[in-house]
């Protein structure tokens, strides 16, 4: 079994690490970051990312944003300073495709391979090991990493060279955001028209409008359960990558831009840490009506 360095034990990373341990692997984690109590007793806690890389055969990072990955990899106490030729670095964060390509070149120059392998599926997917994993990098490295990915996910695809995994993830986040917006608008329309939005949601699950977003996030909207999940501020980061990329490519993504504006309304009203299904609250603010509001009652601001 491999010695795996795992850096980034947050909402999703902690579950992913637990699943690797269940698969029989030895984990080394960075004690400079928060380590959940149960993982502290099941792993080797290293002083910093350099020490993690020295002790591990494969290093996995799962942190929030592009600057965080740059710091994990290339700070004075970062992964790069602990690598020796032949090791493999896997970044499972969701970050800039262009920066990913630059990171890969730096790691390659040290005689090591690099995979970008962002994930989709949220906390539930991380906990239940059903994540979708989108990978960019060389086939030989993918083949080495595949047994590890199998312990964390179900739908695992090598998309292309370094950066392709991140490009696929950005595309995923566009689709997810627009589906959340569609579900939110539909349930708000139904509720304001006097129909029970939860009954509407269940009825739509049997038709062509059925989707995972309608199933999971539609229920969050009707039951008002907006604890993350996947935070709005992280989805905003992903849509910024999409919109920035679109500008560089000279293409328009008008509905991605509108979804980002709705997330911004939520953030401006104290909701940057809400689950991204809470996009519905931006529409509710504009309508002065909540999806779960009983018909006939006075309008209530979200």
> What kind of fold does domain 168-287 have according to CATH?
1.10.1040
pLDDT at 298 exceeding the cut of 90: no
Confidence label for 228 from pLDDT (cuts 50, 70 and 90): confident
What mean pLDDT do residues 204-232 have? 95
Residue of 140, 154, 169, 300 with catalytic role: 169
CB 140 within 8 A of CB 158: no
Condensed to tens digits (0 to 9), the pLDDT of residues 168-212 reads: 999 999 999 999 999 999 999 999 999 999 999 999 999 999 999
Between CA 83 and CA 110 the distance in angstroms is 8
What is the per-residue pLDDT across 92-108, written as a single tens digit (0 to 9) for each?
999 999 999 999 999 99
Q: Which residue, 257, 276, 281, is CA-closest to 216? A: 276
Query: Alpha-carbon distance 36 to 3, whole Å?
Result: 19
For the chain, domain boundaries: 3-161, 168-287
Active site residue 223: no
CATH classification (class only), 3-161: alpha beta
Query: What's the average model confidence in pLDDT over 141-166?
Result: 98
Q: What is the pTM of this model?
A: 0.89
pLDDT value, residue 295: 55
């Amino acid at each position: 079994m491999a010695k795996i360095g795992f850096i980034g034990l947050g909402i999703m990373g902690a579950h992913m690490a637990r699943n690797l341990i269940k698969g029989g692997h030895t984990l080394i984690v960075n004690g400079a970051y928060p380590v959940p109590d149960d993982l502290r007793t099941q792993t080797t806690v290293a002083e910093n990312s350099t020490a993690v890389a020295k002790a591990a055969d494969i290093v996995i990072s799962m942190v929030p944003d592009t600057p965080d990955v740059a710091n994990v990899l290339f700070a004075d106490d970062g992964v790069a300073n602990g690598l020796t030729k032949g090791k493999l670095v896997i970044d499972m964060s969701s970050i800039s495709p262009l920066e990913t390509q630059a990171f890969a070149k730096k790691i390659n120059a040290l005689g090591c391979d690099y995979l970008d392998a962002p994930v989709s599926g949220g906390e539930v997917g991380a906990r239940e090991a059903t994540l979708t994993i989108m990978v960019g990098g060389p086939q030989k490295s993918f083949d080495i990493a595949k047994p590890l990915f199998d312990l964390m996910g179900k739908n695992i695809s090598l998309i292309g060279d370094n950066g392709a995994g991140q490009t696929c993830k950005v595309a995923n986040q566009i689709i997810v955001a627009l589906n959340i917006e569609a579900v939110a608008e539909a349930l708000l329309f139904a509720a304001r028209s006097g129909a029970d939005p939860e009954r509407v949601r269940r009825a739509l699950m049997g038709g062509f409008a059925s989707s995972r977003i309608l199933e999971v996030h539609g229920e969050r909207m009707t039951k008002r359960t907006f604890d993350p999940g996947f935070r709005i501020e992280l989805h905003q980061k992903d849509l910024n990558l999409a919109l920035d990329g679109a500008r560089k490519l000279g293409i328009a993504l008008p509905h991605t831009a509108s979804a980002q504006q709705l997330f911004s309304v939520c953030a401006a009203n104290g909701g940057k840490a809400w689950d991204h299904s809470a996009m519905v609250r931006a529409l509710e603010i504009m309508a002065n009506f909540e999806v779960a509001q009983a018909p006939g009652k006075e309008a209530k601001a979200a």
